[in-house]
Amino acid sequence: MKLLPVTCALAALSFGSHAYAWDFVLLDSDKPASNLRITSEQLGLKVDKPFSVSMRTLHGGRQEGVSLIDIDNGTMKLTVVPTRGMNVLSAQVGSVRMGWDSPVKEVVNPAFIELNGRGGLGWLEGFNELVTRCGYEWVGHPGMDNGELLTLHGRAANIPASRVTVHIDETPPYAIHVRGELKEQAFKKVDFSVQTELVTEPGAAHFVLNDTLTNNGDYPKEYQALYHSNFSTPFLEEGARFAAPVKQVSPFNDKARADLGDWQTYRAPTPDYDETVYNVVPYGDAKGNTLTVLHNKAASLGVAVGFNVQQLPVFSLWKNTDTRGQGYVTGLEPGTSFSYNRRYQRPLNLVPTIGPKQQRQFRISYTLLTDEPAVSKALQQVKSIQDGRATEVRQTPLVDLSKE
Amino acid sequence: MKLLPVTCALAALSFGSHAYAWDFVLLDSDKPASNLRITSEQLGLKVDKPFSVSMRTLHGGRQEGVSLIDIDNGTMKLTVVPTRGMNVLSAQVGSVRMGWDSPVKEVVNPAFIELNGRGGLGWLEGFNELVTRCGYEWVGHPGMDNGELLTLHGRAANIPASRVTVHIDETPPYAIHVRGELKEQAFKKVDFSVQTELVTEPGAAHFVLNDTLTNNGDYPKEYQALYHSNFSTPFLEEGARFAAPVKQVSPFNDKARADLGDWQTYRAPTPDYDETVYNVVPYGDAKGNTLTVLHNKAASLGVAVGFNVQQLPVFSLWKNTDTRGQGYVTGLEPGTSFSYNRRYQRPLNLVPTIGPKQQRQFRISYTLLTDEPAVSKALQQVKSIQDGRATEVRQTPLVDLSKE
Amino acid sequence: MKLLPVTCALAALSFGSHAYAWDFVLLDSDKPASNLRITSEQLGLKVDKPFSVSMRTLHGGRQEGVSLIDIDNGTMKLTVVPTRGMNVLSAQVGSVRMGWDSPVKEVVNPAFIELNGRGGLGWLEGFNELVTRCGYEWVGHPGMDNGELLTLHGRAANIPASRVTVHIDETPPYAIHVRGELKEQAFKKVDFSVQTELVTEPGAAHFVLNDTLTNNGDYPKEYQALYHSNFSTPFLEEGARFAAPVKQVSPFNDKARADLGDWQTYRAPTPDYDETVYNVVPYGDAKGNTLTVLHNKAASLGVAVGFNVQQLPVFSLWKNTDTRGQGYVTGLEPGTSFSYNRRYQRPLNLVPTIGPKQQRQFRISYTLLTDEPAVSKALQQVKSIQDGRATEVRQTPLVDLSKE
């Protein structure tokens, strides 16, 4: 990768209301993606953990022309994919990687994917991220709804971002904000835009997604959102556990029903396991905030995914403990909805509506739990949010898929 | 936008039969799109209205890699989209804009559109132009015909142009010709090419499309063409009117039937109006030339769309007087055919055939009517073409869609 | 085409185990396609037939961004299309061209093709090569199988190659190897990679494809391969003949059945002929090697296509002797399978399985037979492989398509 010199990077600097406003445009209608690099040193910032944000472009195969943004906050290295819905490809602290190994090795340019292919499963040809945005017109399994084939998990992950910027706060801790806009527009059908934001702080083993969905249309419109957050080793292993403040849990289908008793623990990579999915209704605290935790068997390493149940009231736990080669991965998926086709979720009241010009905020935090005390503290938080409230373990799926 | 210096522009100059032949290649198989700019000044032309033709490329979002050609004829500024069928994005004279505000804000690269998505309505994800070419293998609503899903309005608008050139006439008025070829080819299916041309003259508030469809195949082939020409304010408003020499008018469907009495006048932006469509068979003059006019309530501003009924025998009036945010727009659409699915148009004799190596010409003129006398003169022309001949107002749609 | 100077080409040189290892990376994830040119002269090679390998990019239309590799081995000029499955566009020796004239004139970027369009025939919008790779998840006519629409002839031809390299042997005859990897991956569906290789020697009127399919997945998986090798004039003409050591031949369908008596001879371009296809089970020699020959009426010019029946046990002869304009072409198509939809080929045992981490090799050789002795010698080889063994001429198609 050839990097543009500092002067080029700074040429992208636009002056705001302050003497030094650190706003950089990485991509815009009149600005192609380039091999830009922004560093704390260039900005004259003396921070304990020097940071950098850089951009590069992939070539060859189905990843031709895909832009990547690499953020190194001094502790955590994150890669964001503007060409794929500002998805987070991976996050790494030292040798610990949040993310997974999909059979899909390329970061696939949506230009080469037919979402309508494979009976609506074309999305699977690009699925390999740590966080894959699902929505916002719909999420869930492919199938007909209102006479139209809804493709798996909607379009968001395959919408290239329109205007991508980096903002560095001018005051400590100098938080780094990477923003990109997704336009989900079709005449007479939908007029959504999603202002995505990833925020991380220099030195933190932590990042936040902070998205704003706007219905620019003049009519109320159904929407759905789901943040497909995917983890593998070293968190996922035999005996790894999932914890959350749970109001209700139910199996997604009959297969999951058979394993319901073990829904919170994980298997080793298991040939022919395929997947089981559990539908969770989490409890939140007084403000609606909740926390879900995945940790290894020894409870010495984990991740915490936090969100607000007023924004994202339900949660899918996707246990894809198949072989490593097929994808040994679990998905922690806060959403407005489960992963059923949209037509099944209306009766469950899981297809919300957004009014004209209204906005919806989705804030999800991702924290690496680097040691036993960190895991323990997070589990305490889960317990504290549960606060002794009952958990309903529902034996039967919410949707009877046998009638399909 | 960085512009190449004059020398580069002139390097594109190819010498014809004259001492100075002003022919520029903007795009070809061995010539990528570049930020070229050609001006009357560079050409040493002393014209009252200096003109320029320039090219630029859009980035980010679903418009990544889309080329635009901006033509400023000194009076009218036009933008043509080579990447999208040489469609005319907009035309502007001073503050008066021909075109409309679609919810689709990007100029979408066809690489990111699945025309077969949304049940064949994928076309709607890119629809926002002043003139969108529809055809040429078929036009009309999506649906099955001969065992194949025909997608909305065919492929033309989503075919990138192959060789794009600019020709400036060497004699006054130095007409500017922008040409691009569309190849609509599939082994065993279709072998069409369309030489598109946009012509405008320095200082004119007027342009012409002059397209030539060629069937390069060895067999006769069905074809359809429709020029989806879309206007909004300041022409479209409550009380705005449409005029044409009309032989027959009929409602497209039952909804349009209900409003048939007012088919020539327009509503203000109307929530939940959606659209009504009227099928018009226009009269032409002795040579087949006809003129259709849209003007504002005061008849002080309008547009005239002229064509020849031997080339384009029918016309659709699309009244999409929905809210501004949803798209407040009317389409004046000369065509070989109406907007029904092709299978419905064969019995109407609106699916013509083009023989092997034959050509069809489609010439459509667009004129801004800048004041009351101009509108009045155009309406006189309409009246003169009608020439007292009768108008059949057919109460029922030509196609019974209830059987669908 | 602007060519990079020698220094740039050599910059791509990576050092292997020898003092001079001639390995060039033309395209990789961090290396975009460029107008590179490698010549025997640059390498300091004194060969009778100086050779070159160069790369260029096409622009405009649906071929925007398509990379081509031109190989001139001193005798034969080959063009390979990395953006389209490393297909071989054409091979030419003097005025003799291996390949054909498809109505599809562009080398179409897969980004602009919907394989699922046209009822699964979208592939036809890009079909124009001398050798089009078909497979590897499936081949054959479109249709439903296991609840999924299989599109015509699979995805291989529309997968852009991921890492493209050129290797020149360091010892005479200095064979030229052009390699590119195709990744056919979808989570839960398929995890194939195909290392493609084209090999030719300086001065030879001959090239070889040598592909390795790997199932990277952990489960056995069905696969199919078919090398759609297409020839026209000067080989194909009225009275041209096809020869092969044939164990069994049968008509593909009822139309082919009617012409079964003449299955080895060709017609002149014939309006409305469309196509006939014959399913051939070839004999191989003791090692499984076999040879198929197409030659002109005078038997003075031909092509030989060789392969191994252990790798590719069956063969389709596609006789598309329609008019020149529609495509006057014959396909010699060694494969694991015929061209029926996959669901029809399972009962024929023509849908093989590849185990986890297993590989399959496909080696096909293409030789220009430049004169009567060369044709005669090749026909002798065919006879020698047949070795007097019987040919079953099966009157009825292997699959009863009337039940479809």
Contact list in C for residue B190 (CB cut-off 8 A) is 103
Q: What is the mean pLDDT of residues A208-222?
A: 98
CB pair distance less than 8 Å for C218 and A325:
yes
Query: Which of C58, C103, C119 is opposite residue B185, by nearest beta carbon?
Result: C103
Contact list in B for residue A157 (CB cut-off 8 A) is none
Query: Which of B64, B124, B272 is opposite residue A186, by nearest beta carbon?
Result: B124
How far is Cα B86 from Cα A298, in angstroms, rounded to an integer? 63
How far is Cα C151 from Cα B324, in angstroms, rounded to an integer? 41
What residues have CB less than 8 Å from A216, skipping those under 6 apart?
A185, A191, A192, A193, A357, B103, B325
Separation of CA C19 from chain center = 35
How far is Cα C204 from Cα C192, in angstroms, rounded to an integer? 32
Instruction: Quick: pLDDT tens for C108-140.
Output: 999 999 999 999 999 999 999 999 999 999 999
- Degrees to nearest 5, angle at CA A318 with A255 and A376: 125
> Which helix (H) or strand (E) is A96 found in, with range?
strand A96-98
CB pair distance less than 8 Å for B30 and C1:
yes
Residue B12's pLDDT band (cuts 50, 70, 90)? very low
Query: Is B21's pLDDT higher than 90?
Result: no
CB pair distance less than 8 Å for B151 and C117:
yes
B96-98 vs B131-136, strand pairing mode: unpaired
C241-243 vs C289-295, strand pairing mode: antiparallel
Query: Is C4's pLDDT higher than 90?
Result: no
What's the alpha-carbon Rg for chain A, to the nearest Å? 21
Percent of all residues in chain B with a pLDDT value above 90, rounded to a whole number: 93
- Which residue has better confidence, B1 or C46? C46
Contact list in C for residue B32 (CB cut-off 8 A) is 57, 59
Instruction: Quick: pLDDT tens for A310-329.
Output: 999 999 999 999 999 999 99
- Ranges assigned E (strand) in A265-401: 276-282, 289-295, 302-308, 314-321, 328-335, 353-354, 359-369, 392-393
Q: Is C47 helix (H, G, I), strand (E, B) or coil?
A: coil
Predicted confidence at residue A402, as pLDDT, reads: 80
> Which helix (H) or strand (E) is A372 found in, with range?
helix A372-386
CB pair distance less than 8 Å for A116 and B121:
no
Q: Which residues does C contribute to its contact with B (CB < 8 Å)?
A: 1, 56-65, 102-106, 109, 111-112, 114, 116-119, 121, 124-125, 127-128, 271-272, 274, 322-327
Query: Which of C28, C164, C189 is opposite residue A124, by nearest beta carbon?
Result: C189
The pTM is what?
Answer: 0.95
Task: Report the sign of the C-alpha dihedral through residues A241, A242, A246, A252, in that order.
Answer: negative
- The minimum CA-CA distance between C308 and chain B, rounded to whole Å, is 30
Q: Given the structure tokens 């001959």, which residue do they identify? A: C206
Q: Given the structure tokens 């384009």, which residue do they identify? A: B312
- Degrees to nearest 5, angle at CA C303 with C399 and C306: 60
Q: Domains plus CATH for chain B?
A: 6-403 (2.70.98.10)
Tell me if ipTM is over 0.90.
Answer: yes
Instruction: Quick: pLDDT tens for C305-323.
Output: 999 999 999 999 999 999 9
Phi, psi of B123 (to 5 degrees): -50, -35
Phi, psi of A21 (to 5 degrees): -100, 120
CB pair distance less than 8 Å for B325 and A65:
no
Query: Is C17's pLDDT higher than 70?
Result: no
The candidate with the shortest Cα–Cα distance to B337, out of B309, B312, B364, is: B312
The candidate with the shortest Cα–Cα distance to B67, out of B110, B14, B131, is: B110
Query: Which of B29, B33, B148 is opposite residue C118, by nearest beta carbon?
Result: B148
CB pair distance less than 8 Å for A115 and B114:
yes
Query: Which of C1, C61, C323 is opposite residue B183, by nearest beta carbon?
Result: C61
Q: What is the mean pLDDT of residues B257-265?
A: 97
Instruction: Quick: pLDDT tens for B107-156.
Output: 999 999 999 999 999 999 999 999 999 999 999 999 999 999 999 999 99
- Chain C residue with CA closest to A126: the answer is C186
How far is Cα C11 from Cα A66, in angstroms, rounded to an integer? 24
- Ranges assigned E (strand) in A111-269: 131-136, 143-145, 148-150, 164-168, 176-186, 190-200, 206-215, 221-222, 224-231, 241-243, 246-251
**What is the torsion angle, in degrees rounded to the nearest 10, for the CA atoms of residue C124, residue C107, residue B35 and residue A7?**
110
Q: What is the mean pLDDT of residues B292-315?
A: 98
Residue A393, CA distances (Å) to A46, A334, A352, C305 in order: 52, 19, 25, 65
Residue C202's pLDDT band (cuts 50, 70, 90)? very high
- Ranges assigned E (strand) in A322-358: 328-335, 353-354
How far is Cα A60 from Cα B40, in angstroms, rounded to an integer? 42
Query: Is B17's pLDDT higher than 50?
Result: no
Neighbour tally for B285: CB within 10 Å: 16
- Chain C residue with CA closest to A129: the answer is C187
- The minimum CA-CA distance between C163 and chain A, rounded to whole Å, is 6
Half-sphere exposure (Cβ direction) of C262: Cα atoms closer than 13 Å: 13
CB pair distance less than 8 Å for B118 and A216:
no
- The minimum CA-CA distance between C356 and chain A, rounded to whole Å, is 10
What residues have CB less than 8 Å from B370, skipping those under 6 apart?
B93, B96, B205, B301
Residue B213 one-letter amino acid: L
Rounded to the nearest integer, the mean pLDDT of chain C is 94
Mutation target vs B (from C3, C66, C114, C324; most B CBs, 10 A cutoff): C114
Instruction: Quick: pLDDT tens for B168-198.
Output: 999 999 999 999 999 999 999 999 999 999 9
- Looking at the DSSP bridge assignments, the partners of residue B65 are none
CB pair distance less than 8 Å for B217 and C327:
no
Instruction: Quick: pLDDT tens for A155-182.
Output: 999 999 999 999 999 999 999 999 999 9
Contact list in C for residue A323 (CB cut-off 8 A) is 218
The candidate with the shortest Cα–Cα distance to A230, out of A69, A97, A86, A62, is: A97
Q: For residue A122, what are its two tokens?
A: 């074309």
CB pair distance less than 8 Å for B60 and A159:
no
Half-sphere exposure (Cβ direction) of C60: Cα atoms closer than 13 Å: 22
Query: Which of B59, B118, B322 is opposite residue A31, by nearest beta carbon?
Result: B59
CB pair distance less than 8 Å for C56 and B30:
yes
Separation of CA C344 from chain center = 23
| Partners of chain B (3+ Cβ pairs below 8 A) | A, C
Predicted confidence at residue B353, as pLDDT, reads: 98
Predicted confidence at residue B241, as pLDDT, reads: 98
CB pair distance less than 8 Å for C187 and A103:
yes
Burial pattern A307-325, b for ≥16 Cβ within 10 A else e, equals bbbebbbbbbbbbbbbbeb
Instruction: Quick: pLDDT tens for C5-15.
Output: 333 334 344 44
Phi, psi of C37 (to 5 degrees): -145, 125
Instruction: Quick: pLDDT tens for C274-310.
Output: 999 999 999 999 999 999 999 999 999 999 999 999 9
- The minimum CA-CA distance between C1 and chain B, rounded to whole Å, is 6
Predicted confidence at residue A349, as pLDDT, reads: 98
How far is Cα C325 from Cα C105, in angstroms, rounded to an integer? 12
Mutation target vs B (from C118, C141, C277, C320; most B CBs, 10 A cutoff): C118
Instruction: Quick: pLDDT tens for A30-69.
Output: 999 999 999 999 999 988 999 999 999 999 999 999 999 9
- Chain C residue with CA closest to A106: the answer is C183
Contact list in A for residue C115 (CB cut-off 8 A) is 114, 117
- The minimum CA-CA distance between B120 and chain C, rounded to whole Å, is 10
Query: Is B232's pLDDT higher than 80?
Result: yes
Q: What is the mean pLDDT of residues B54-58?
A: 98
Contact list in A for residue B105 (CB cut-off 8 A) is 183, 185
**What is the torsion angle, in degrees rounded to the nearest 10, for the CA atoms of residue B348, residue B349, residue B353 and residue B358?**
-130
CB pair distance less than 8 Å for A114 and C110:
no
Percent of all residues in chain A with a pLDDT value above 90, rounded to a whole number: 93
Predicted confidence at residue A20, as pLDDT, reads: 55
